[in-house]
Amino acid sequence: MSPPPSVSATADCPSIAERGPAIPTARGAAPAQDATFAAIGLAVLATVFFAMGDVTAKFLTGTLPAIEVTWLRYVVFCLVVVPTVFAARGAKAMHTPRLRLQIIRALAVAGSAVLFILGLGHLQVAEATAINFISPIFITALSIPLLGEKVGIRRWAAAAAGFLGVMLVVQPGGSAFQMAALLPIGAALAWAVAAIATRLMSSEKPEATLAWSAVIGLIVLTAFVPFNWRTPTAGEIGLAVLMGACSTLGHWLIILAYRKAAASTVAPFSYVQLLFAGLLGFAVFGTVPGAMTLVGGIVIAGSGLYTAHREHIRAREARLAAAGIRRA
């Protein structure tokens, strides 16, 4: 599963997401511009791997239970991420004073992954991807009671537009409606909970958050997967490794992108995944997104882009206020 724009595995951690290039001087302008172009390239490449992982997951759901597919992806993710984090930071990598929030975040991420892969089993990859991109809308709504944020009329208007986009894709009441469309909506809501939990523990090291999410998610899924287990073939194991590798590589590319440029620069390019999801879905399954899916996807993307823009403005004003600078 791909992360919605502005919320990757660790991109929603301020220590990474808000880390961009310093304001360029005349001498540093070119290197800063090069870093920005590199970040955009990394972000776009990440969407290719995310789409590949989602297409592979959908293929596997044809023969394996969705929770087993999710578990296999977590196995690969843990085998790569946990040793890497420990190699870089040692045992202190798992140190956290916010264990309760880490558990909540990990459970939300795992639940989001299961729901999304369940949805992939019934929907086109492009449809599930478009619907899943409404997560920023849920984050906006949840930020009021959980973070105490004030949401202005423009952000609510963007949220309403995003909801309209989802209705265009889902088409409730129409002949094309599928109950399975509710699954990626649930996945987006769960991911929003994970994003809120991450913001509440913004002082945590991103490496610790990533490791805790991987380990707890694998433990929880391991407890449930035996109840619906089907022994995979050698070919299915190979596809599972490919799926996990694509997801893991996509997340690392996003992390690198956020380290090279500001979140407001990188996040919008996450929507390129809609294009690759449609292309790969056609190449592998022969499916073509319907007109309403395309229109709805564009509306959802526009809503998300404007929400990201407003978040950037709000964060900038907060930094200026903290520095004692007032707008004229």
The parts of the chain modelled with pLDDT lower than 50 are 6-27, 326-328
Within a 10 A sphere around the Cβ of 318, how many other Cβ atoms?
10
Give pLDDT, residue 6. Answer: 47
In angstroms, the first-to-last Cα distance of the chain is 44
Kind plus residue range of the DSSP H or E element containing 158: helix 153-170
pLDDT at 20: 32
**Which residues are CB-contacts of 276 (< 8 A; sequence separation ≥ 6)?**
47, 48, 50, 51, 52
Q: Give Cβ neighbours of residue 60 (< 8 Å, ≥ 6 apart).
A: 69, 72, 236, 239, 240, 243
Domain ranges of the chain: 14-322
In tens, the pLDDT along 28-71 reads 555 677 788 898 899 999 999 999 999 999 999 999 999 999 99
Of the candidates 57, 43, 60, the residue with the CA atom closest to the CA atom of residue 116: 57
pLDDT of amino acid 31? 64
What integer pLDDT is reported at residue 30 of this predicted model?
55
